Amino acid sequence: MLIPHKFAPREYQIPVLKALQNGCKKAVLVWARGLGKDLVAMNYLIMQALQSPGVYLHCFPNYNQAKRAIWKSVHDTHDGDSISYLDHIPENLIKHKNSSEMMIQFVNGSIYCVMGLDGKNAMRARGMNPKFVVLSEYAFMDAESWHTIEPRVKQNNGTVIFISTPNGKNHFWELYQYAKNDKSYFTSFKTIEDAKTLSKNDIEQLRREGVPEDFIQQEYYCSFERGSQGSYYGKLIQKARDENRICRFPIYPGLPVHSAWDIGVGDSTAIFLFQHLANGHYNFIHYYENSGESLLHYLRFLNRYREEKGIEYGRHFVPHDMKNREFTSGVDRLESAREFGYRMDVVAKKPIDEGVNSVRSFLPLCKFHLDNCAHGIKCLDFYRKKYNEQLKVYYDEPCHDRWSHGADAFRYAVIGINSIGLEPNASNSDVEAINKFFGGV
């Protein structure tokens, strides 16, 4: 029986297959919707699994997506038949199939497993000791998932294929930019025009049917310039890039530096530092984030920054729960900060949608330091609504993930500015208290 089974690669798919067959171990495919990303990766995976026993993983951002995309999915073949993805594995080569685990054991001992990398599944995947991994929809996956699996794949001299449409300039974009300049990677960028899978009339029909232009540009033309789907501020951050408001600039001497916080104990704590300019605009000069640290750690950061940059502080905006939850065990956080010379301003609790709208109005007035606010910019770019995979709709509430902490800190800055203002600056007694406590460090 011929392998691949019931699969003939399209012309634009052949280069990646040749690269992998010639020994390439890492491939990044930025391919538009409908170009057969998973189909070509899966069929190459099957060939390798039958040649070299091992664990072969086909991974998606979550379980339901994996089940829907591969385990329960059908597609049209090159000769017009309609078959399931699993039909590309000949029955006589399957020893055992476990649908509840979405796992197939081949007669030669290889394991093919379709899985979602949500929850603790990345650690499960690492424990399976894979030698071949396909990361599908990688732009929509937590980058930490790959970082968890990567050591085992590397130890096994294994292969990884990253495939996705874009989702803004996130970790997939960064990987693609790096891979283009690294000869150990194979990279491919294909739109519907490159593959000739849809005509201009087809795209115009989608527009007439009300498909958003952002979605069309992202999914069919592989645009990284669009904000991630469901993003609250993606378009505004892209506008800041277009207007060169994400750049390098100096701290203005003599202007107070204000801070805005999102606090956490188990979660991350995030801090934006910014200055208010005479023209009414705002320069966000630094972003800091850490987790599992006490209040003292962050106050030490503020003090070091003040000493290194020769600045003085103004307001310190913190969320309402600063006064309700303990930050350091058994100690009132507001009072503790006050003892160290930092007077915190608790911002009013506002509905999320009201705060989001305030941020949207505020962002056009802002400039961000390209290097010192890099992660904070990503937080704003990728702060997004929760998504229902089954209904294919976004909830009207934010997703709590690695990006939400920085976005919340920025929102508290805006609410604080609007409701409290930025004066007065820190008093001399505050500065003396800081120096006395930290000893000038």
Beta strand pairing call for 345-346 and 313-318: parallel
Cα separation, 180 vs 188, in Å, equals: 9
Instruction: Report the share of the chain in percent with pLDDT over 70.
Output: 89
The pLDDT value given to residue 192? 95
When computed from its CA atoms, the radius of gyration of the chain, rounded to whole angstroms, is 26
* DSSP type of residue 364: G
For residue 189, pLDDT over 70 is answered with yes
Query: What's the pLDDT tens digit per position in 374-432?
Result: 999 989 988 888 766 555 566 778 888 888 999 999 999 999 999 999 875 444 445 45
Query: What mean pLDDT, rounded, does the chain reach?
Result: 88
The pLDDT value given to residue 421? 92
Burial, 86: exposed, middle or buried (Cβ in 10 Å; 0-12, 13-18, 19+)?
A: buried
Of the CATH numbers 3.40.50.720, 3.40.50.620, 2.40.340.10, 3.30.420.280, which one belongs to the domain with range 246-438? 3.30.420.280
The pLDDT value given to residue 3? 66
Domain ranges of the chain: 11-220, 246-438
The pLDDT value given to residue 1? 47
CB-based contact 300:435 (threshold 8 Å): no
Q: Is the dihedral of CA 190, 196, 200, 206 positive or negative?
A: negative
Mean pLDDT of 75-99: 85
Mean pLDDT of 289-318: 94
Query: What's the pLDDT tens digit per position in 134-171?
Result: 999 999 898 889 999 999 999 999 999 999 999 888 89
Query: Which tokens in the block code for residue 27?
Result: 């491939």
Mean pLDDT of 74-98: 85
The pLDDT value given to residue 58? 97
For residue 250, pLDDT over 60 is answered with yes
Instruction: Report the share of the chain in percent with pLDDT over 90.
Output: 64
Query: What's the pLDDT tens digit per position in 166-185?
Result: 988 889 999 999 999 999 99
Query: Which tokens in the block code for residue 359?
Result: 């941020």
CB-based contact 188:203 (threshold 8 Å): no
CB-based contact 368:236 (threshold 8 Å): no
**Residue with the larger pLDDT of the pair 288 and 294:** 288
For residue 328, pLDDT over 50 is answered with no
The pLDDT value given to residue 226? 67
pLDDT band at 441 (very low <50, low <70, confident <90, very high): very low
Mean pLDDT of 33-50: 94
The pLDDT value given to residue 357? 95
Contacts (Cβ under 8 Å, ≥6 apart) of 316: 258, 259, 260, 261, 337, 342, 343, 344, 345
The pLDDT value given to residue 229? 65
pLDDT band at 294 (very low <50, low <70, confident <90, very high): confident
The pLDDT value given to residue 267? 72
pLDDT band at 5 (very low <50, low <70, confident <90, very high): confident
- Maximum CA extent, the chain: 84
Has this prediction a pTM greater than 0.75?
Answer: no
The pLDDT value given to residue 326? 52
CB-based contact 262:319 (threshold 8 Å): yes
DSSP secondary structure, 243-265, as one string: TT-EE--PPPTTS-EEEEEE--S
Cα separation, 225 vs 227, in Å, equals: 7
For residue 262, pLDDT over 90 is answered with yes
Q: Which of 414, 382, 374, 381 is nearest to 399 (CA)?
A: 382
Burial, 164: exposed, middle or buried (Cβ in 10 Å; 0-12, 13-18, 19+)?
A: buried
Query: What's the pLDDT tens digit per position in 200-231?
Result: 999 999 888 877 787 889 899 999 876 566 78
The pLDDT value given to residue 114? 96
Query: Which tokens in the block code for residue 355?
Result: 């705060």
Q: Which of 120, 164, 159 is nearest to 138 (CA)?
A: 164
Was domain 11-220 assigned CATH 3.30.1540.20?
no
Beta strand pairing call for 26-31 and 185-190: parallel
For residue 85, pLDDT over 50 is answered with yes
Cα separation, 179 vs 417, in Å, equals: 42
Cα separation, 173 vs 168, in Å, equals: 7
**Residue with the larger pLDDT of the pair 117 and 389:** 117
The pLDDT value given to residue 119? 77
For residue 118, pLDDT over 60 is answered with yes
